[in-house]
Amino acid sequence: MKNLEIIAFSIDLARQKERVEFVKNQMKFCRANGYNTVLFVAYGEGAQYPVYAEHFDGKNWHAPVAAKAACGMVKDEQNILQNNASFCVLGTDDGRAHLDDMSLGKQRNAIRIVF
């Protein structure tokens, strides 16, 4: 089985236990399918904009081969696969939407990148 890496990003620490369980479940899925995966997770108000990423296993650099939305609001996930200035959007940066629905800040937005 390939190595497994998980990266979790969190702004709101109040729900950390729930997030840990989410990451554990993602790890189980990745291990079961033999993936070498990075999981980007964003919470809180505003959006996060991950861009192209490579994986270094200690010897070689590996380009991403697939990107898939894991949960929440994820837009343009295919942009992670391109080595340029394009980006993915996790969450929403619509301030009005956050004021109207405070639960958006607690929503988990995640993308799984497979190498």
d(CA 96, CA 107): 16
The 3-state DSSP class for residue 77 equals: helix
Residue-wise pLDDT for 37-60, tens only, equals: 788 888 777 788 888 888 777 788
Report the predicted TM-score, pTM, of the whole model to 2 decimal places. 0.64
What percent of the chain has pLDDT above 70? 70
d(CA 110, CA 113): 10
Of the two residues 84 and 32, the one the predictor is more confident about is: 84
Q: What is the pLDDT of residue 9?
A: 46
Q: What is the pLDDT of residue 44?
A: 75
